[in-house]
Structure 1
C-alpha cells in the first residue's frame, strides 16, 4: 500500500494542513500538546545544531500518522528525538489500522532519508506503539537499548470520589500536615486565593505569573545558566491563548496565592477531555518556609475534585512532593536506537581512550560529515 511521508520544517506550512492534522490528532490521541498550534509554537526553536521537523504520513491523501521530531547534530553524528520533552507525554501518533506500516516507514525515513545514526524516543509503558517499535527495530536491524528511569515518569491522580472522601482515604496525617501549612499562612498575614478561568483577565493573569517567576528559585538557576526565560511557560501561555479561541474541549485554569497583597505562588493547569495537566507551579522563594507551592497545588487539586468534569490529574513530572497526593505513576521508557558503526565506535572511544585521542576522533568525524555535505 503506497504510504507517503511529507516532512514539514517550516511552521508556516503547518498552517496549511492545520485542520487535517488537528482532526487526526483529536481522533487518535487524547494529548492536547500534540495539537497543531502547540507543535507550531515549538517549531520556532531552531538552532545552529538542531532543527524541528514534523513527519506527516498519508495514504491516498488521508493522514495516518503524525510524528514531531527534533533533529540534532553533534560531533558529526545526527540524532533524532521527539520534538516535545517527556513531560509533554510525546509518542508516535498513528492510526490503528496502519500502525505497523507507519512505524517501519517512519524509522526508515529517520535513519535513511534524514541520515540519523541515533534515535532517542521515550514512550509511555502502556503505549500501543511499545511492542511495535521493539519488533520494527528487530526487523530493520536497528540496535535498541531500553532505559527505564523514574525521571521520565508522571505522577498521576485518579479522581474517583469527592474531595472529602479523598482526604479521608489519605488519612489523618495528610489532613494534619495540610492544616499546619494553612495555619502557618493564616498566621503570617492576610492571605487570599484567587482563581481565573480561560481568557478571564488574561494580561493581568500573565503579568502576575511573571512577577512570581522573577522571585522563584528557578529564576536564580536560569540566571546562573545564562537562560533568559522559561520558554516552556511562554509557549504554553501563547498556545493556550490561541487554542481557547478555537477548541471547545480546551480550558485553562490559574490559581494565585497572595500574602498581604503580594502574589507569592501560582498554579497553571490545562484541562482537556477530562484530564487536568498541572503545567506550571511556582512560588516566591522568600516565602518558601510557608510552603506556598504545596498550598496552592492543594487548593487546585481540591477544586478539580469538586469540578465534576476531571477524571485524572497529571502532574507531568515525578517530583518527591507529588507523593503528598499520589503514589501512582505513569511509567515511561526511553528507546535508545542506533544504526551503523559510528555511534558504537564513538561510545567505545569515549569510555576507553584518553582525551587527546577523543579530540582526534571528533575532528575526523567532523571532517567526514563535511564530505557527506
Structure 2
C-alpha cells in the first residue's frame, strides 16, 4: 500500500502535512516512541493515548525471539496483543546487525539470541514474513547499517548488500499480499537508504531504493558515530533523490538539535529510544536543556521539571519528589520521567509543525539550536 503525504504548508524545505493510512491519519513531522518488546518502557497504551502519540515502533529482532511472530499472529497481531489502537511501525532487524554484530553473508544475518544463546537466521525474505505476522501498519526492509567511521570499502559493501536485500525483501512482501489480505492487513513497506557520510553513495543508494518502488522511504545509518556536521549534508544528499509525495523517515534520531536540522531538510518521521532511556537514567528534557534530576540542587526544589511544559507530570509533581523517586529506584519515578520526556519531545515536534505553517521555521530552529546545538 503506497503511502503519500498531503503537504499542508512548507517553509523552505521543511514541510508539515498528513499521511493517511487505513488506520487513520498521521500528522507530520512526527516523533514515534520506541516500544522495543511491544511496550514503550514504563508506559501503557492508555499513557500513550493520553499523550496523543499516534505511532510507535516495535522491534522485530526482539519480538521474533520472544514471544515469537507466530504467537503474535495467532493472537491477532501487535495491535490486539498490545490493546493498542494507534499505528505500529516494525523495524527489520537491521539495527541489530549494527549493534549485535552477527555473522552476515549475502543470504542474511545469523544472530545468537540475547535471551538464551540459541542461533537464528534472518534473511530479507524472512524479515518481511516475520513483520507481516507481527501485523504492524508499516514494516521496514532488512538493511545493513555500518558503524561510523568506517572505511570506504565497508560503506560501499553495505550499500551494495542493502540494495540487493531491498529487491529480495520487496519481492517477498509483494508475494505475501494474499496472505495479508486474508487477515485484513493493509501494510506498507519502506525501503532504507544507506551510504554513511559519503554524499555520492547516499545519492546512489537513494536512487536504487526508489527504483524498487517502495511504499515510503527511510534514511538509515546516521547518528551511529558521526558528528551532526557530517550527518546533515549526508542526509540532504539522500533526501534530494527521494520522492516528494511520499513519507521520509530518519531512523534512530531523537535529539532535539538533529530533529530540527532534519525537519528543515524535509524529513517527516523520527524514532528514538532517547526519551525513555534518558528518563530511566534521570535525564530530563527541558526548554533549557538537560536536567539531571539526581543533582543535590533539586533536593528541596518545589518547582516543576519545566515551567513551560503542559504535561501532567509538570502540572502536578515537584522536582524534589521526582528526585526522591529516582534516587530510590522507585519504578514510579521512571514512569513519570518518561511521561514527561515523551510529552516534551512530542510537543517540540508539534511546535515545529506550527512554525512551518506560520513561516517562522528558521527562528524556531535557531531557538532549539541555541539550547541543544
The structure whose Rg is larger is 1
TM-score interval, smaller chain: under 0.3
